[in-house]
Amino acid sequence: MSKLLQLHDFGAPGATSFDELRKSAASSGCSSKGGAGKTGCGSAAGPSDLPPEIWEKVKNHPCYSEQAHHHFARMHVAVAPACNIQCNYCNRKYDCANESRPGVVSEKLTPEQAARKVVAVASTIPQMTVLGIAGPGDALANPAKTFKTFELVTETAPDIKLCLSTNGLMLPDYVEQIAAMKVDHVTITINMIDPEVGAKIYPWIFYNHRRYTGVEASKILSERQLLGLEMLVARGILVKVNSVMIPGINDQHLIEVNKAVKSRGAFLHNIMPLISEAEHGTAFGLAGQRGPTAQELKTLQDACEGEMNMMRHCRQCRADAVGLLGEDRSAEFTTEKVMAMDVEYDLAARQAYQAKVEAERDAIAVAKQRELEKLEGETATIKIQVAIATKGGGVINEHFGHAHEFQIYEVSTAGAKFVGHRRVDLYCEGGYASETGIDPILQALNDCTAVLVAKIGMCPKDSLAGAGIEAVETYAFEYIEQSVIAYFKDYLERVGKSEIRHVARGDATIRQGAFTEA
Amino acid sequence: MAYKIVASQCTGCSACEPQCPNVAIFEKAGTFAIDPSKCSECTGHYDEPQCVAVCPVDGTCVIDNSVPRYQAA
Ligand code: SF4
Ligand code: SF4
Ligand code: SF4
């Protein structure tokens, strides 16, 4: 229930500006609501770099569209824990470190239980639009369970989009079935195209009834992954590629991977930082292999960006995550609770709700465009990063002390761009500042010039100021991108008047371990 | 002989279950186990015991010396 209240919360402060914006948008001849797939003011609402038919497919998918992840929710069900390869960043004694949070054993479900859970969640959370099967393990190592789940869900909840994640080893054998099930997105984890690099990531694979090791194993894996990718693209199925960035092993090589997957038609590339804390017990963790820093990750993502769309909002959610990205409501939907729930699938109500959300998104895009116009004529070459405290809805609506994560935007005269998120441990728990204090947050935001929040106390504000980060409450409950641009304009003015001096910021740390709710 | 699964090591991932040519592997209290009367050590089917080859935890699917040797071997 809390989610519904939250959505109304963000609707309320935005309501006036939202209506005004709709009006002004209409009066200037820029419709904020086009036909299917068309968004107001062209590129402002839809990513200009995606063809319309692809945008139509991904716009409500929280994992694929940065904007959608503010408004739509997804869920994963863990039905198929088996896997047929071994990755050095994964310890299946606990869970798959790639697609889900290590150290937490996900609840394994039968296809029937999983289907019931999907309907229960979709009835409770109308913005739930996507069901994914993403491990732990490989969705195609136990294909019967994966496809059975999809089949059952399609029967009761036909509006839910299906997606699956795979390591790609068995993919070519199941492309026909994936197409027949109307799965519209597939994620393949591709960490290399050079078997020599692969040998450092994959100790073995199980294929054709035997275990292959070393370069031979990676050669087979890579060939199968790329073949599977080509076959899916040929059938019009969207393919996202996930890569785990492992400094010193595949970091430079991922630029080659990016070219290879782009040329074969993948539409999105998601480069994720390696999670490798020793306590997760993965081979990399035990060997002391480090993960990338925030700026290393961003530099690599930027280097690949010219080649294709980069996804930067992945939270490496656990395999049974439920809810909006960055928010996990899986505890509300344990098998026990789901089995006891009275569920009724109300398709019309879901659609009405989603239409409302869509209208709000259009308004956000229009607001951003208007703010951007105010920057016209600015020639400053300054580029800064700004952190945002939000609980979703595209609005700055989170108290600094309650933030589990901050969203990072890079802003220049060219506009505001989402570049990532930083998870943090709660600074203030139940009104008291946490024991670890503010230092980890300062480290996580060290590359930012400012943090925009709904509210912040004096103490953390001073600490931030001491670290050269400005805490700003001025834009509380305003739309994020519009505010980031407005802040930047103000910043430029103050630099111009020599009220402040622009200084380049340093690097930041990515918090290890996956997202945990409190 | 037959293979057995060291229950304390098994993660319950189920990867071995569908690979066994003799359907000897079954779930038992969250982990998996092998029915020794059905296990043929994969003789005549594959070069490698399938449960050993697919299991992510080394040393989990091991020879059980307490069981007499498989007949056809
Ligand atoms: S792990 Fe999370 S963010 Fe990444 S693809 Fe899956 S649901 Fe989306
Ligand atoms: S050795 Fe072969 S026959 Fe025996 S349990 Fe393992 S997979 Fe089955
Ligand atoms: S493959 Fe190994 S760990 Fe997985 S269920 Fe079988 S014996 Fe257990």
Report DSSP state, residue A91.
Answer: B
Mutation for B interface: A85, A90, A93, most B CBs within 10 A = A93
- Choose the mutation target among B6, B10, B13 for the interface with A, i.e. most A CBs under 10 Å: B13
Is residue A317 over pLDDT 60?
no
pLDDT, tens digit, for every residue of A138-189?
889 888 889 999 999 999 888 888 888 899 999 999 999 999 998 978 999 9
CB contacts < 8 A (A, B): 50
| pLDDT of amino acid A125 | 79
Asked which of A196-205, A323-332, A355-364, A383-392 is least confident by mean pLDDT, the reply is: A323-332
Distance, CA of B26 to CA of A42 (rounded, Å): 57
Question: In this predicted model, which residue has the larger pLDDT, A145 or A324?
Answer: A145
- Cβ-defined contacts of A285-289 (< 8 Å, 24+): A285/A89, A285/A91, A287/A88, A289/A88, A289/A246, A289/A247, A289/A248, A289/A249
The answer on pLDDT for A318 being more than 70 is no
The upper half-sphere exposure of residue A122, i.e. CA atoms within 13 Å in the direction of its Cβ, equals 28
Q: Please name the residue that has the structure tokens 């199941």.
A: A174
Asked if pLDDT for residue B18 goes beyond 50, the answer is: yes
Q: Do B56 and A83 touch (CB under 8 A)?
A: yes
Instruction: Give yes or no for residue B18 CB within 6 A of ligand 3.
Output: no
The two three-digit tokens of residue A173, written as one number? 């054998």
Single pTM value for the model:
0.71
Enter the DSSP assignment of A332. Answer: G
Q: DSSP assignment of A164-225, as one string?
A: EEE-SSSHHHHHHHHHHTT--EEEEE---SSHHHHTTT-SEEEETTEEEEHHHHHHHHHHHH
Q: Tell which wins on pLDDT, A424 or A10.
A: A424
**Dist. CA A173–CA A146, nearest whole Å:** 14
Residue A205 reports pLDDT greater than 50: yes
* B 26-55 residues with CB < 8 A to A: 45-48, 50, 53-54
Percentage with pLDDT > 70 across chain A: 74
Q: In what order do the strands lie in the sheet with A405-412?
A: A415-423, A405-412, A384-388, A450-452, A470-472
Q: With 80 as the cut, is the pLDDT of residue A306 above it?
A: no
Give, for ligand 2, the residue of B14, B41, B43, B70 to mutate: max count of ligand atoms closer than 8 Å to Cβ: B41
Q: Is any atom of ligand 3 closer than 6 Å to the C-beta of B60?
A: yes
Residue A290 has which token pair? 């480090």
Confidence class for position A74, pLDDT limits 50, 70, 90: confident
Atom of ligand 1 nearest to the CA of A99: 1
A73-76/A268-273 β-pairing: unpaired
Q: Can you list the alpha helix ranges (DSSP code H) found in A235-287?
A: 253-263, 283-287
Taking contacts as CB-CB distances below 8 angstroms, the residues of chain A near B46 are: 209-210
Ligand 2 centre distance from Cα of residue A388 (Å): 55
Among the bound ligands, the one closest to the CA of A272:
1
- Is residue A18 very low, low, confident or very high in pLDDT (cuts 50, 70, 90)? very low
Question: Which of A82, A206, A209 is nearest residue B13 as measured by Cβ atoms?
Answer: A82
Q: Does the C-beta of B23 come closer than 6 Å to ligand 3? A: no
Helix/strand/coil for A479: strand
Q: What percent of chain A has pLDDT over 90?
A: 23
CA A454/CA A397 separation, integer angstroms: 5
Q: What is the pLDDT of residue A507?
A: 73
Q: Is A137 on the interface with B (CB under 8 A)?
A: yes
> Per-residue pLDDT tens for A436-493?
578 888 888 888 999 999 999 888 898 899 888 999 998 998 888 888 889 999 998 8
| Sequence-ordered list of residues with C-beta below 8 angstroms from that of A472, at least 6 positions apart, any chain | A450, A451, A452, A453, A487
Q: Are A245 and A271 in contact (CB under 8 A)?
A: yes
- Reported confidence tier of residue A324, pLDDT bands at 50, 70, 90: low
pLDDT bucket at A85, cuts 50 / 70 / 90: very high
Per-residue pLDDT averaged across A295-314, rounded? 72
Q: A133 pLDDT band (50/70/90 cuts)?
A: confident
Digit-coded pLDDT (tens) for A251-268: 999 999 999 999 999 988
How distant is the alpha carbon of residue A387 from its chain centre? 16
Q: Which residues of B touch A81 (CB under 8 A)?
A: 11-15
**Which residues are CB-contacts of A395 (< 8 A; sequence separation ≥ 6)?**
A10, A13, A14, A477, A478, A479, A480
- The alpha-helical segments, DSSP class H, found in A31-142 are 52-58, 111-124
Mean pLDDT of chain A: 76
Model ipTM over 0.85: yes
Query: The tokens 């430079």 sit on which residue?
Result: A252
* CA distances in angstroms from A321 to A155, A310, A409, listed in the order given: 22, 22, 25
Asked whether the beta carbons of B39 and B22 are under 8 A apart, the reply is yes
Alpha-carbon distance of A134 to A317, in angstroms, equals: 10
Distance CA A357, CA A164 (A): 25
- Using a CB-CB distance cutoff of 8 angstroms, which residues of chain B are in contact with residue A144? 18
Element (H, E) at A71: none
| Domains in chain B, CATH or no CATH each | 2-64 (3.30.70.20)
Contact A275, A316 (CB under 8 A): yes
Note the pLDDT tens digit of each residue in A31-54: 232 332 222 222 223 444 566 666
